[in-house]
Amino acid sequence: MPKKIITDPKYLAEIKRQQIRQQAPPLALLALSFLTSFAVPLFWFHYPSLILAIIAIAWYLYVGFCFRFKEKISIPDGDIVLSPITGRVVVRKTSSDICMIKIHKAQIDLVEIRCPYQGSFWEDDCLRLNYNGHNLVFRFEGARVHKFDTAEMEAGNLIGYIYGSASVAISIPQPLHTVLQQKELCEAGLTAILEA
């Protein structure tokens, strides 16, 4: 049985708190629909309040679905650089000295940001690492990037979260080359970007 990385409960609790904050507006809308149903006892007014209730419940469930994460993942094998987010490769460009790939995270993909390689470090909204003497840069694009500054920078560990639609652009210097192809699905902390 493979060994697992179990995510620190304090980070999971922080993600859950953010989820609850995002689910407060649909709950308020649901309460409003019930209040209008009782405040205006006319029979025909029950239909708008019922529609409001259905919208609120759907919105609440959608927000909950958008805040999914994995509590544990398998420990990565070997000397590999991992994908930090779950998403699909939408761009893969190669020039003479650099390869750039972009992984797009859809609204409903997992929210977690996982450490791609041991010794990685945050610099503004970028994640940097040194792999076999080469510097790799991960640029996160999205307004809702949350970093855990105290997280251990070990491959596969949860180091932040990003909710909503977002992407990460990864600059890979030559002679390194990526194993990812365009339209390939990546899983945070599990899919290899580079292998030794």
Q: Tens digit of pLDDT per residue, the chain (196 long)?
A: 458 888 888 999 999 999 999 999 999 999 988 888 777 766 667 788 888 999 999 999 999 988 888 888 888 777 889 999 999 999 888 888 888 899 999 888 888 999 999 889 998 878 999 988 888 999 998 778 889 988 889 888 999 999 888 999 998 888 887 888 888 899 998 888 886 5
Q: How many helices (DSSP H) and strands (DSSP E) are in the chain?
A: 2, 14
Instruction: Please choose, from the candidates 103, 98, 96, the residue with its C-alpha nearest in 3D space to the C-alpha of residue 165.
Output: 103
Q: Measured on CA atoms in the order 132, 175, 156, 4, is the torsion positive or negative?
A: negative
Give the pLDDT of residue 2.
59
Give the pLDDT of residue 70.
87
- Pairwise CA distance, residues 167 & 57, whole Å: 28
Instruction: Write down the pTM of the prediction.
Output: 0.84
User: 3: exposed, middle or buried (C-beta count within 10 Å: 0-12, 13-18, 19+)?
Assistant: exposed
Q: Please say whether the beta carbons of 145 and 124 come within 8 A.
A: no
Give the pLDDT of residue 181.
85
